[in-house]
């Protein structure tokens, strides 16, 4: 159940998989993303509501074939330059995109976690998104006749998140901004949770979410595994790193040096 | 006390928020203005961020919508599906406070791509995020954006979030439940939709800005309201609160 990060990624993430590393500013599994880069995975369909620095790195490193997302940026700083370079100049390779809104993506995970083929929401009406995204379609309410929007379930091959702690049996506990953590773990065929600490017994925390061990495939003990994002109670968001990434990612050569540092 | 055009814009945007209302806040200029409002005239303004924090009371400006300080100070922290499905979609939020990369005469917003070809864009922007449904569902929308010909365009390259569509009745036809953009606040002045045809017209100029400047910074034939008012200049208390919030250099000089 509890394995090393390298073992977990080797076992769970295969070339060509659909992989979601989720985290809404908080608890982003950055170390797991770096391990995917180190192990040289290719042809991944990367899924995430808010692809940020770690997705910029995965895209720049050539791991991704496609991105399914709703907002791709360096939060609070600006653009993701590796993502931009891939979309605008197909560097290091072409990147197919499937673009949604946050509400659409959140509901796709909910449908995936619920074992349903699609979700329904009031959304997208009047926007240009449905013209470019095949996974947005109008649907008529069978009770009122009202036109709403349907989006298909997202069921990744692998869902990866970071959390505050687990016990030795692999029950996982996390709190703070919980994003779509629960939904992505339950929607995915296989899941990995990296944790700040492993304890004998989970202490109850108000508002915390507990994922029972049997709902999670693997847990890896990775202290600081969400840096530069944060784990409430363990670390603060490293805002300077997000700002520094802008300069590193703007330039292909500069990014290449960063990548060499990660993989060597 | 002197002030910059950005400071005037932020103060004007903060003043547009009333106490007791529930405000869905985008990051950047809207977040700065909303936090300023809470520190000046609207201490009971409810700040809602799409990361899931409801009633955040940060003591410093967050860099991102998911900074820890928002969660630590919030009345409630909810998951993202709950935020969009339970709190935004049914119309529980009064004001949506948004920025824009492009904005047209009907207040439609683009934050997706610049250029006519979606598949081969001139500039790829971050995308929609929460904005389409914020623009659709909040009782009213306030846009905070710097005014220039690059931003204020005759036609947006991509409709990410619907304003007043192409005119009267469009929002109702599309089934959008909120009222749409009520105010656009810029570094030059304030625009409001004409009650009859819903086109944005200039209703206020900030002190020292001429109508010609506003027209020159707009990519469509900007109409002026019959009586254009002058915005009240930032008061010293507003400036002091803003500079304390942003930690700007001006603050260090004046204190």
DSSP code per residue over A51-103: --HHHHHHHHTT-EEEEEES--SBTTTB--HHHHHHHHH--SS--EEEE--HH
Report d(CA B226, CA A8) in Å as an integer: 68
Provide the pLDDT for residue A240: 95
* B13: three-class secondary structure by DSSP: helix
Instruction: Give residues 50 to 89 of A whose Cβ lies within 8 Å of B.
Output: 50, 69-73, 75-77, 79-80, 83-84, 87-88
Query: What is the average pLDDT across B188-206?
Result: 98
Provide the pLDDT for residue B251: 41
Query: Is the pLDDT reported for residue B27 higher than 90?
Result: no
- Choose from B126, B138, B141, B155 for mutation: most chain A CBs within 10 A: B126
Provide the pLDDT for residue B1: 74
pTM (2 d.p.): 0.96
**What are A176's two structure tokens?**
């703070």
Map tokens 């496609």 to a residue. A66
State yes or no: cis peptide before A76, omega within 30 of 0: no
ipTM of the complex: 0.96
- Residues from chain A that touch B99, judged by Cβ atoms under 8 A, are none
Provide the pLDDT for residue A190: 98
Q: Burial code of B38-50, b = ≥16 C-beta within 10 A, e = fewer?
A: bbbbbeebbbbbb
Q: With an 8 Å Cβ cutoff, are A76 and B64 in contact?
A: yes
Express as a percent the part of chain A with pLDDT over 90. Answer: 98
Provide the pLDDT for residue B2: 93
> Which chain B residue shows the shortest CA-CA distance from A68?
B127
**What are B45's two structure tokens?**
């303004």
Active site residue B133: no
- Residues from chain A that touch B78, judged by Cβ atoms under 8 A, are 178
**What are B228's two structure tokens?**
């254009």
On average, the pLDDT of chain B sits at 95
Provide the pLDDT for residue B53: 97
In degrees, to the nearest 5, what angle opens at C-alpha A121 toward C-alphas A118 and A127? 110
Provide the pLDDT for residue B248: 74
Eight-class DSSP state of B252: H
Mean pLDDT lowest among A72-76, A101-105, B60-64, B246-250: B246-250
Distances (CA, A) of B43 to A121, B34, B39: 33, 10, 6
Query: Is the pLDDT reported for residue B254 higher than 50?
Result: no
For the CA atoms of A83, A88, A93, A97, what is the dihedral angle to 10 degrees?
Answer: 60
Provide the pLDDT for residue B252: 39
Taking only the tens place, the pLDDT of each residue in A112-149 is 999 999 999 999 999 999 999 999 999 999 999 999 99
DSSP A122-189: S--TTSSHHHH-TT-EEEE-TTT--EEEEEE----SEEEEEEEEEETT--EEE-SS-TTHHHHHHHSS
Residues in chain A: 264
Query: Is the pLDDT reported for residue B250 higher than 80?
Result: no
Mean pLDDT lowest among A163-172, B5-14, B60-69, B166-175: B60-69
Query: Is the CB of residue B178 less than 8 Å away from at least one CB of chain A?
Result: no
Query: Is the CB of residue A227 less than 8 Å away from at least one CB of chain B?
Result: no
Taking only the tens place, the pLDDT of each residue in B71-129 is 999 999 999 999 999 999 999 999 999 999 999 999 999 999 999 999 999 999 999 99
Provide the pLDDT for residue B63: 86
User: Kind of pairing, strands A96-99 and A64-69?
Assistant: parallel
Query: Is the pLDDT reported for residue B26 higher than 90?
Result: no
User: Containing H/E element for A190?
Assistant: strand A190-199
Instruction: Give residues 49 to 88 of B whose Cβ lies within 8 Å of A.
Output: 50-53, 62-68, 70-72, 77-81, 83-85, 88
Map tokens 């946050």 to a residue. A102
On average, the pLDDT of chain A sits at 97
Instruction: Select from A115, A117, A114, A155 the least CA-distant residue to A137.
Output: A117
Burial of residue A107 (CB within 10 Å: 0-12, 13-18, 19+) is buried
Per the CB < 8 A criterion, the answer to whether B206 and B215 are in contact is no
Query: Is the pLDDT reported for residue B255 higher than 80?
Result: no
Q: Burial code of A212-245, b = ≥16 C-beta within 10 A, e = fewer?
A: ebeebbbbbbbeebbbbbbbbeebebebeebeeb
Query: What is the average pLDDT across B131-137?
Result: 97
Query: Is the pLDDT reported for residue B216 higher than 60?
Result: yes
Report d(CA A180, CA A20) in Å as an integer: 11
């Amino acid at each position: 159940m509890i394995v090393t990060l390298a073992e977990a990624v080797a076992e769970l993430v295969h070339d060509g998989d659909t992989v979601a590393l989720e985290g809404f500013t908080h608890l982003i599994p950055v170390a797991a993303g770096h391990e995917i880069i180190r192990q040289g995975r290719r042809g991944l369909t990367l899924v995430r509501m808010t692809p940020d620095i770690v997705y910029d790195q995965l895209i720049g490193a050539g791991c991704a074939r496609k991105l399914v997302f709703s907002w791709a940026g360096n939060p609070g700083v600006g653009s993701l330059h590796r993502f931009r370079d891939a979309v605008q100049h197909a560097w290091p390779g072409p990147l197919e995109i499937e673009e949604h809104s946050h509400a659409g993506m959140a509901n796709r995970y909910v449908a995936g976690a619920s074992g349903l083929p699609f979700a329904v929401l009031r959304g997208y009406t009047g926007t240009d998104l449905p013209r470019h995204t095949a996974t947005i379609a109008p649907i008529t309410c069978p009770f009122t006749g009202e036109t709403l929007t349907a989006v298909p379930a997202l069921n990744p091959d692998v869902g990866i998140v970071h959390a505050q702690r687990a016990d030795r049996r692999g029950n996982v506990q996390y709190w703070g901004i919980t994003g779509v953590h629960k939904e992505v773990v339950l929607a995915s065929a296989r899941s990995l949770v990296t944790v700040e600490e492993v304890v004998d017994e989970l202490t109850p925390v108000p508002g915390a979410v507990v994922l029972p061990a049997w709902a999670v495939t693997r847990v890896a003990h990775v202290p600081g595994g969400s840096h530069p994002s944060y784990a409430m109670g363990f670390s603060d968001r490293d805002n300077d790193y997000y700002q520094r990434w802008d300069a590193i990612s703007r330039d292909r050569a500069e990014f290449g040096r960063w990548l060499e540092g990660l993989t060597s | 006390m002197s002030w910059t055009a950005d400071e005037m814009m932020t103060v004007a945007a903060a003043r547009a928020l009333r106490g007791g209302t529930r405000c869905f806040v985008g990051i950047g200029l809207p977040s700065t203005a909303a936090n300023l409002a809470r520190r000046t005239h609207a201490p009971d303004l409810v700040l809602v961020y799409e990361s899931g924090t409801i009633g955040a009371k940060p003591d410093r400006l967050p860099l991102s919508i998911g900074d820890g300080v928002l969660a630590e100070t919030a009345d409630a922290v909810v998951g993202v599906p709950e935020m969009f499905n339970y709190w935004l979609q049914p119309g529980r939020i009064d004001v949506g406070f948004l920025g824009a990369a492009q904005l047209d005469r009907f207040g439609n917003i683009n934050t997706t791509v610049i250029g006519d070809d979606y598949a081969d864009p001139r500039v790829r922007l971050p995308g929609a995020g929460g904005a389409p449904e914020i623009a659709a569902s909040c009782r009213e929308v306030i846009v905070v954006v710097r005014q220039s010909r690059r931003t204020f365009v005759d036609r947006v390259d991509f409709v990410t979030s619907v304003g007043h569509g192409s005119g009267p009745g469009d929002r109702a036809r599309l089934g959008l439940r909120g009222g749409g953009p009520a105010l656009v606040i810029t570094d030059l002045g304030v625009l409001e939709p004409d009650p009859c045809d819903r086109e944005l017209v200039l209703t206020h100029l900030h002190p020292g800005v001429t109508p010609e400047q506003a027209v020159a910074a707009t990519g469509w034939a900007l109409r002026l309201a019959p009586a254009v008012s002058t915005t009240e200049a930032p008061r010293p208390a507003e400036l002091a609160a803003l500079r304390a919030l942003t930690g700007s250099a001006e603050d260090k000089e004046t204190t």
